[in-house]
Structure 1
Amino acid sequence: MTTAPLAHTDVIVLDYLAALWAQSEDLSPELRDQLMHTVADYISARRAAATSPLDDAAAIITRLGPPESLVDAARRGQIPPHIRLPALIPPPPVPASLGPAGGAAEYVAVGMLTVGSLIVPVVGPVAGMLLASASPHFTPAEKAIGWTLTAGSAAAGAVLTLFFATLPFHTSAALLLIYLVMCGGAFAAGMSLLNALRRRGQAG
């Protein structure tokens, strides 16, 4: 179900972000979110740099270093300075006609990722991320994190479904666990996008 969006997103980058998300599981939610956004922003900034932009995703990932190294540095309270430098590069301006905080389409996307994930798992979140991907109000980094969380939870739910299907018995607890796993990542993606809209609204 992720074939279409992956055609517009570098698979190497998504794999790296997914590995970083898995490695940083023991970090506090705030530090984990900061690390993910800093790395995603670094990748976007390197590609859009006014001087010496890098189109090769593998070269950018090499400069970042292994995910475990970044997580170890974050545990010590020091996000490596070299990945903060692209923050000095101003992001592309949001079209003034659309407003910095987004419109109805952006909030519908958030709703499909949060409420929609609870009502129609997988289908609702994917539809929400397709809407978010088409929006100019979200940065490439925010979209990449959203897809990583959404696709990751759907994949984890599928793995759990296959696992429980091999067991000779099934319980309601197992079904609830699968449901929560499939919803969790999409819900987190929706809240991340919502926070981005709120930050822009406050800045505006």
Structure 2
Amino acid sequence: MTSGPYTSDATPLAHTDALVLDYLAALWAATEDLDPDLRDELMTTVADYIALRRSAGGTPAEDPAQILRRLGSPESLAAAARRGRMPAHLRRPVPAPAVPTAPSAGAEYAGLALLTAGAIVLPVLGPFAGMLLISGSPRWSAPHKTAAWVLAAGPALLGFALVVLGVLFGGGPDSLVVAYLMMLAGGFVAALTLLPGLTARRHYPQGY
């Protein structure tokens, strides 16, 4: 073989391999006047094109001689590169941009359920878990989520403090009932303020 990055060793080559290497060597020589980066890009693209179709196998179109005929002469590829464009059959397909899908409303309904029914079973943990789900939803704006956090957490913290004070200072059952109702009220009020957002337009991030 001649100069260039595509050289052979002492191992005898199959006829089809020799055809490919001769073609690449001719292309290397024909593109001597190109910008080095453009020359390397063309050589790499052509080599990948040949390798991809040879590895597919199974049809006459994958025969190296046929592949080279489909590529065209090295001179025609070099001329196209000089005109500043890659031949159409060598262009790599551009992946189609992913279309974002709207998040499911299941987590949002679950969040509201935890704020209400969850507060009955777990007065503090239920609303807290519900607000975590609400916070990750694009349906409500940041001010709405902040207000819901205040409405849910404020009464829950006050109720919890009332329970602690009742235990420390011997408060009766009435104080526990009041604390429990306060915890429930916070979750329910927060859910009521968020409920209209289920039918309103979602606040999707940019790109949705």
- TM-score norm. by structure 2 comes to 0.45
Larger Cα Rg: Structure 1 or Structure 2? 2
Q: Greater helix percent: which structure?
A: 1
- TM-score norm. by structure 1 comes to 0.46
